[in-house]
């Protein structure tokens, strides 16, 4: 064997940039990747959250304040990061946001804001970082997709369109970047126990029961379920995995 356990799952020697890394799934990914040996740089617009998050991550974590819709600054980001912490070998596109409206009430601006945050922001980051990634050992790109990439969920057309775009981006980029030895994959989380989901379900017990009832494993996911999936997909254990969307949803896509 050219790889052995547990070294195949180690991220030692890797440095990852995780957008939306100050809380929720992004922070969980950061914790799991640090535990696997990686250095992480977490990014978001909220510096206070980033500082608090770094205090829980330990010495192998740093942060950078960045708005993924600031496309001009994104172009400069690889150079800034290379000078301050060193080049990255893993890019995690995890920034998110949504606007919940019926389609006939959603403004074009609201729709465009969601698309800019998810799709255009991710494109700009990938475009900017590919030259840096291809110089690194075992580089990879990861997208946080969603069940909304595959299911028709009402009143979130912008979010659903953006997350569906991630599926296409993963497939297209995986074939384009394979000759550069850059792997590209995605994770499609189901319902995960985060502050956002707890808020969404806390006032509607009937909806919560309906959600849980549609998950074959009978519970919502933990954030670390997503974090460990990210650690796996960016490790050497997944060195022959590219162009895939890994559903981490307790079987929900098959239980609906």
Residues annotated as part of the active site: 159
Run of H or E including 64 = strand 61-65
Question: Which of 48, 4, 1, 58 shows the shortest CA–CA distance to 22?
Answer: 48
DSSP string across 172-226: HHHHHHGGGT-EEEEEEE-SB--HHHHHHHHT-HHHHHHHHHT-TTSSPBPHHHH
Query: Three-state DSSP class for 51?
Result: helix
**Crossing angle (nearest 10°) for helices 157-177 and 108-115:** 30
Distance of alpha carbon 196 from alpha carbon 9, whole angstroms: 30
**Crossing angle (nearest 10°) for helices 121-133 and 71-84:** 30
Question: Which of 180, 197, 200 shows the shortest CA–CA distance to 242?
Answer: 180
The residue with tokens 């403004």 is 107
Structure tokens at 250: 């307790």
């Amino acid at each position: 064997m050219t790889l052995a356990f547990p070294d195949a799952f180690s991220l030692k020697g890797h440095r990852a940039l995780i957008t939306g890394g100050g809380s929720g799934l992004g922070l969980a990914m950061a914790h799991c990747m640090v535990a696997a040996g990686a250095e992480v740089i977490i990014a978001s617009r909220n510096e206070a959250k980033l500082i608090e998050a770094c205090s829980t991550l330990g010495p192998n974590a740093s942060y950078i304040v960045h708005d993924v819709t600031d496309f001009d600054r994104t172009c400069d980001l690889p150079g800034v990061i290379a000078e301050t912490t060193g080049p990255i070998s893993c890019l995690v596109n995890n920034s998110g946001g949504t606007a919940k409206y019926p389609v006939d009430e959603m403004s074009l601006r609201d729709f465009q804001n969601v698309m800019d945050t998810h799709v255009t922001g991710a494109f700009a980051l990938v475009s900017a970082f590919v030259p840096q990634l291809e110089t690194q050992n075992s580089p990879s790109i990861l997208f946080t997709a969603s069940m909304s990439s595959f299911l028709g969920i009402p009143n979130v057309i912008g979010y659903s369109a953006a997350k569906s775009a991630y599926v296409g981006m993963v497939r297209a980029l995986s074939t384009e970047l394979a000759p550069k030895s850059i792997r590209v994959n995605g994770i499609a989380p189901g319902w995960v126990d985060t502050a956002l989901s707890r808020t969404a379900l806390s006032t509607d017990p009937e909806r919560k029961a309906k959600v849980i009832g549609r998950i074959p494993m009978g519970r919502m996911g933990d954030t670390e379920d997503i974090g460990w999936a990210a650690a796996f997909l960016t490790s050497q254990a997944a060195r022959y995995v590219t162009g895939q969307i890994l559903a981490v949803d307790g079987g929900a896509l098959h239980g609906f």
